[in-house]
Structure 1
């Protein structure tokens, strides 16, 4: 096979690859650690610092992934002759992602052939946001940026607006802004709307605008100055808003019995949907990482590049591998492996709540998963880079 040739911006792919690797840790924890996906690792009454930070570090993945999806959309559009072609790509790509979320991805999470549990997570969020972005890119750049800022900084004003039940207006609101698990079809189905799209729309819009810093010919020195400003500024606003405890997150922090627990409370911010404080906490370090990694080239960055250049392929593949490993784990524990065929009844039963392995097993398994994925992703990366004439590869 010939060597891969690419003109992609490496720092963006390195960051994307890093968050993909970190993301796998959270999903391995879901399918191996005691409590599986039923126990809350951020519950201060039951967690440990190590378990908490195992979950907390993975908070960085979704917002960075969505933000960079917007950046990639801008860069993809900068190579096209017209916005119409970009809009067509964004809409069709978004529609494809929503379809894949509700079929291929949902099945990877549940292994339930009936697909009775409909899980709306990050791929759905990116998909629906891309479809909306397809229309928004026709707006003036300054107006588009203002819309992104208003959504990210203002959507928490809607936290007090809540709905209940499965009425059409309630369901619509769940999709827009309210995290919700809803049993439907007389108990035979379930909607798990983990990623209401409105806050993510703000993030992808800002990511799209951020792409301006990486357009061809942009001064690297100026870009690095802005990365430093954005990184420090975001972290400053995170600490300021979180300390004030007035606005920006559904869950205020509280003083605990000891310093460690108080720090955990301070860092326990709302992901579903992503609060302003959560977004500042996660994107700030991302900007600083891009600032530092701009000209770095070593074995670590080369490895992250592989994952960062085939994120969708990696995402699908890693979910199936991890779920299969989880089933093997149940067999090793002497439990019924079919408990990880996650039907509606099994979600409601909570049988796995007190079953699973110690956290160190999760870390060993995570490393094993990355080792398995690397050569496969590298082969696909080379194939994709050397077959740019195949249009369908842009959807994988």
Structure 2
């Protein structure tokens, strides 16, 4: 999260000795979730069941596979929440008009990136047969809405964010009575959907925006809270909030009535029953899903965020350039997957048939590797992107071109 010093800054590309400082604890958390995010995407492209089974399916999963998928639940909500926090930090040096313009324009930019760049990196489909709206789309549309609501009094923004996050699962009762007949408009709001557009083009809404928007609003409000305290008082407050949110998750999940559309059930053994308990709904993120992820994230900021060593400096690099890393890692993962696809004896023409069958190109469902290979490829992807992320992080901190704030 960048806070620029008050001194006048040249708009040229001449390197500056030191342009900005960072909130290290937040960069560290964001870097951590960006690294584990890559694990989930590598699993999608490389694991033998990546495109053929759900790793959270209690009937077919194994503990290692379940946990490999489950740990990555922390990525999207933390990223969206901290995007809101970044909005507040921007507000500390921008007027409402300037911040509103920036959030709205960057939001539209992110939506375009999702449609054009991220979809291609995921599918390698030049025809864009399926246009998917995933994480970057949800952040973009939420930024647009945040850019509009920042004109409201701060207490009203907080109340609106809480109302959405705490109350949106009331729609679960409506959905239980009306499934699966949802309009595209409702799917944008609160339910995944697949809709034909024109010709052989279709729209896949994976990230309905309403809960994500509420979470970003709360992240924005958290930014004010974060900057209002320092040192021990901040740690004490974050610990109180983190523990409180975790206890809310445990209480609501135990009651098993509200907060998630999928109630937990007793499984074949205690371990899988525990898995069922923590297996909350991501699409869209339920109240319990957000409690399960944001509570520990706040504890991480409070207790682990102040650590300074070689490992934390390594992780922080990814947290300083998350969008840049996000785009690059998808291309690298898919290129590696395509190369291994060809190395297994498949032809290029075979690989280009995947998208027409509803999958990514150079993917055959049911064909892939063990988790050991997944973890090896994941480490290779993360380490290989470090030098370019380090370079870009240094460049952003010593230059002030306007377009850098969009990357």
Normalized against structure 1, the TM-score is what? 0.94
Return 288-297 or 271-280, whichever deviates more: 288-297
CA, structure 1 residues 348+32, in 2 after alignment: closer, same or farther (shift >3 Å)? Answer: closer
Correspondence 1:138-217 to 2 at 5 A: 138-162=151-175, 170-185=183-198, 188-215=200-227
CA, structure 1 residues 380+164, in 2 after alignment: closer, same or farther (shift >3 Å)? Answer: same
User: CA–CA distance in 1 between the matches of 2:125 and 2:86?
Assistant: 33
User: CA–CA distance in 2 between the matches of 1:4 and 1:299?
Assistant: 22
Correspondence 1:323-334 to 2 at 5 A: 323-334=334-345
CA drift of 1:342 comes to 4.3
CA drift of 1:256 comes to 1.1
SS at match of 1:161: helix
Of residues 122, 134, 146, the one that matches 1:109 is 122
CA drift of 1:310 comes to 0.5
In the other structure, the counterpart of 1:130 is 143
Pairing 1:48–2:62 present:
yes
Checking the alignment, whether the CA contact within 8 Å between 1:339 and 1:346 is kept in structure 2 is: no
Pairing 1:100–2:113 present:
yes
Checking the alignment, whether the CA contact within 8 Å between 2:352 and 2:362 is kept in structure 1 is: no
Checking the alignment, whether the CA contact within 8 Å between 2:86 and 2:223 is kept in structure 1 is: yes
Checking the alignment, whether the CA contact within 8 Å between 1:10 and 1:305 is kept in structure 2 is: yes
In the other structure, the counterpart of 1:381 is 393
Return 281-290 or 29-38, whichever deviates more: 29-38
User: CA–CA distance in 1 between the matches of 2:139 and 2:313?
Assistant: 26
User: CA–CA distance in 2 between the matches of 1:85 and 1:5?
Assistant: 20
CA drift of 1:334 comes to 3.0
Offset from partner CA, 1:26-64 (integer Å, 9 cap, x none): 000011001223421101111111000000000000000
In the other structure, the counterpart of 1:296 is 307
User: CA–CA distance in 2 between the matches of 1:238 and 1:193?
Assistant: 27
Offset from partner CA, 1:10-40 (integer Å, 9 cap, x none): 1111100100000000000011001223421
User: CA–CA distance in 1 between the matches of 2:153 and 2:187?
Assistant: 30
Checking the alignment, whether the CA contact within 8 Å between 2:253 and 2:288 is kept in structure 1 is: yes
The root-mean-square deviation of aligned C-alpha atoms, in Å, is 2.1
CA, structure 1 residues 262+349, in 2 after alignment: closer, same or farther (shift >3 Å)? Answer: farther
Offset from partner CA, 1:334-361 (integer Å, 9 cap, x none): 3455447642424399983321101110
Checking the alignment, whether the CA contact within 8 Å between 1:189 and 1:344 is kept in structure 2 is: no
SS at match of 2:21: coil
SS at match of 1:181: strand
> Structure 2: where are the runs of 5+ without partners?
1-14
In the other structure, the counterpart of 2:371 is 359
SS at match of 2:365: helix
Return 174-183 or 250-259, whichever deviates more: 174-183
SS at match of 1:238: helix
Of residues 70, 80, 86, the one that matches 2:99 is 86
Pairing 1:226–2:240 present:
no
User: CA–CA distance in 2 between the matches of 1:218 and 1:391?
Assistant: 31
Correspondence 1:276-291 to 2 at 5 A: 276-291=287-302
Of residues 330, 343, 352, the one that matches 1:319 is 330
Offset from partner CA, 1:137-156 (integer Å, 9 cap, x none): 11111111011011001000
Offset from partner CA, 1:299-351 (integer Å, 9 cap, x none): 11101111011111000000000011111221233345544764242439998
User: CA–CA distance in 2 between the matches of 1:335 and 1:233?
Assistant: 53
Pairing 1:118–2:131 present:
yes
CA, structure 1 residues 106+341, in 2 after alignment: closer, same or farther (shift >3 Å)? Answer: farther
Pairing 1:62–2:51 present:
no
User: CA–CA distance in 2 between the matches of 1:46 and 1:19?
Assistant: 27
User: CA–CA distance in 1 between the matches of 2:281 and 2:88?
Assistant: 28
CA, structure 1 residues 116+176, in 2 after alignment: closer, same or farther (shift >3 Å)? Answer: same
